[in-house]
Structure 1
């Protein structure tokens, strides 16, 4: 932290740059943003007990956000199920809270399947998506009664083999990709609707006689800022479902629209505040549910499944990080090196976070750049941010980081830090302990020939010529 003694710094001359306001905006300011506590707990206390960097989650914020979203949809449609997207954040405590709130598990891999089963989630409360479902995973899922959404033709063949093995017809869903009027159009996952590929897959399934379709799945993208896109998605899915029913008599028991709702993290290149930029969850619910009521037949109300992740958890997560070095760049820009970087905030490549200081720091603010501790030039948390003169030990609180950062964080150069949860009663619980060397090396095997006196076995360098 800052001492009473001021350190002399050689003056620098920096070119003033001015011009008209444009859509790329200018310098983000953290100068007047102070966040001295998280969920009511002082940052000083959190760092004193758990160190820096430190991820902090607010249980109250997480539950409140989920309940707000659930209320928006259940007041507009009679049969709604939320699938918690494990890939967004699969910390056990986070998953357990959302399961307590009534969310089932939405999974895209065997690893996530194992995590859900270890938490005691029954098969009937699991949705299995994703492009890679090994045969043994599919067989276990079928035996367990999991909702399976087919992604490609090879999965059809695998499921037919499993149906033969078990001597039963298997009910499955099929994943669609479709044009909802937004760009980019996600076409990698599932079967394309407009080209006829999806209907060809339906015909293939019908010819096999081992499977039957009872649901549709589609995920049109991420950070979707146009509620009308979901309206078009629902319309196309419902019409396709009725086409299947007319051909083969398979009635749609569920329509799974995936997720993709945005959080308050702003995409890079945007300049409006989140309150101005983002539609409300009620606007999304209106668009989706109104489209369902418009296009569904009277008396037919299939289950609506929503697999939202980012919009649920992002705002519940914060990261405390401390200054560990200060410097001037060649162009005189002030730079700060923090103890957290892209190793912990992988989504910083796409999003602009809310950054605040944990206390008032006196002095004149100036445009600065904030780096992480990695030995990589791309390890940048904030490229242009207005900051007062900070010193080693000063802290920043980076907010809206609960989505994808704890699943995509890197085991590179630095240990991953503690993660804590602030409960609804204000207590602080450790939900993931900081790593140490044993976490990195426990899966490694060092051959005996390399383990014994490894250093002493090296050829000794001659000192000849070094006089």
Structure 2
């Protein structure tokens, strides 16, 4: 009697949907670019691994060479086209004394928008006569100090005009002031919150009021038409309107305006969310902005002996590309929809501009493997902590270093002690020496200002 084998026991496993992973390498996209492999093992010749070993991770890194080079490029672009140019470093863009001192060493004045920033500039050795005091709120005590020290006061509204006029009466002397002007330059949204409007006649009315009061003298006109401006012709239109207003003021009051201040707003090479191509490809060269602004000034019809000094309050354009953030991979995950996720130790608490820009994310070392699209998360226990929504990365392991760039503008000043404390910051000098310019924070830095009532003490 033959024995047939028994049917094998089949265990049915739960169904697992397949995950399709798209690997990309070297294929051209529809904009002509390539999914090229990129890494950044060194910053200004200093190995990233060495920086992490010495100062920890995450770590801000600034290049002194890039700061100086960028400043000189901007200044040269304007000064080659116009005889009287003065740059003023925008303090709110980056408060680090080492960064500010580099720009002041290069010849920059200071542009500040609060009494705190004013005091920072004075501590950095900037005389009052080289400080532009902007902003919609300047407390009266701060105004008095700035006036006594010869700062350039930029008046934002009628109430401030009355306050400065009152101080002038008390001092018994006429005070030179600048009026901030807003206008239509074809850019949307229109920046009409600050200053006096040109298009409806408010600005000229304010100038006449200032003159008839007898206590103030119009020294200059100032405008800041927007931020991250990619259209140089918007500056040409703004400059032409300021020049027109200056000439009208001369006809009405007999006083020649000494300064025309075009503010800031020049872009860096950062890439905005929503831009198709890299920011470096869409950012016009600084010479285009210089040509637009100086061309409009020279064509305005100022007498040669009354040509106003051109002031520029540059910030982002000077510092952004000099800043890097080194972070370390904490973990890798595969999300439920199959998306690759990489968690790093630097989040939006220190990379605040991740909300606006697609920063480059470059491995310090590329160990090979296929490129795959990934989302990069920070370490915060918040769903919004996304430092790069989508980027092609090679395989990375926990502990691997990645570099974010450019991050020199606004990230230091807008960083916060949320969930994690703020990291150390170093500057690499011209001869590759590395200086610690701000140490990493301790708990006492966060809790030190607090006062705990006795009844609540443990």
TM-score > 0.5 by shorter chain: yes
Runs of 4+ residues deviating >6 angstroms: 15-18, 20-23
Residues of 1 paired with 2:113 and 2:154: CA distance?
Answer: 10
Q: Is residue 45 of structure 1 aligned with residue 50 of structure 2? A: yes
Residues of 2 paired with 1:187 and 1:127: CA distance?
Answer: 20
Match of 2:109 in 1: 104
Deviation at 1:285, TM superposition (A): 0.8
Q: Is residue 283 of structure 1 aligned with residue 283 of structure 2? A: no
Q: TM-score, normalised by structure 2?
A: 0.92
Residues of 1 paired with 2:65 and 2:17: CA distance?
Answer: 47
Residues 374 and 389, structure 2, Cα contact 8 Å, conserved in 1: yes
Structure with bigger RCO (C-alpha 8 Å, 6+ apart): 1
Deviation at 1:180, TM superposition (A): 1.1
Residues of 1 paired with 2:48 and 2:191: CA distance?
Answer: 41
Alignment equivalent of 2:261, drawn from 249, 256, 259: 256
Shift of the 446–275 alpha-carbon distance from structure 1 to 2, 3 Å rule, reads closer
Alignment equivalent of 2:228, drawn from 223, 228, 231: 223
Question: Root-mean-square deviation (CA), in Å?
Answer: 2.0
Q: Deviations over 1:357-413 (max 9, x none)?
A: 001123222221100111111110111112222211011101110001111111211
Match of 2:11 in 1: none
Residues 12 and 332, structure 1, Cα contact 8 Å, conserved in 2: no
Alignment equivalent of 2:279, drawn from 260, 264, 274: 274
Deviation at 1:11, TM superposition (A): 9.7
Residues of 2 paired with 1:350 and 1:370: CA distance?
Answer: 15
Larger Rg: 2
Deviation at 1:22, TM superposition (A): 7.5
Q: Secondary structure at the match of 1:351?
A: coil
Residues of 2 paired with 1:280 and 1:16: CA distance?
Answer: 36
Deviation at 1:12, TM superposition (A): 5.3
Alignment equivalent of 1:243, drawn from 243, 248, 251: 248
Match of 2:454 in 1: 448
Deviation at 1:82, TM superposition (A): 0.3
Listed as ranges, the matches of 1:76-115 within 5 Å are: 76-115=81-120
Residues 177 and 186, structure 1, Cα contact 8 Å, conserved in 2: yes
Residues of 2 paired with 1:140 and 1:48: CA distance?
Answer: 45
Residues of 2 paired with 1:304 and 1:239: CA distance?
Answer: 15
Q: Secondary structure at the match of 2:101?
A: helix
Match of 1:323 in 2: 329
Match of 1:66 in 2: 71
Residues 14 and 333, structure 1, Cα contact 8 Å, conserved in 2: no
Q: Secondary structure at the match of 2:299?
A: helix
Residues of 1 paired with 2:87 and 2:22: CA distance?
Answer: 51
Q: Is residue 185 of structure 1 aligned with residue 208 of structure 2? A: no
Match of 1:214 in 2: 219
Listed as ranges, the matches of 1:16-415 within 5 Å are: 32-299=37-304, 300-415=306-421
Q: TM-score, normalised by structure 1?
A: 0.91
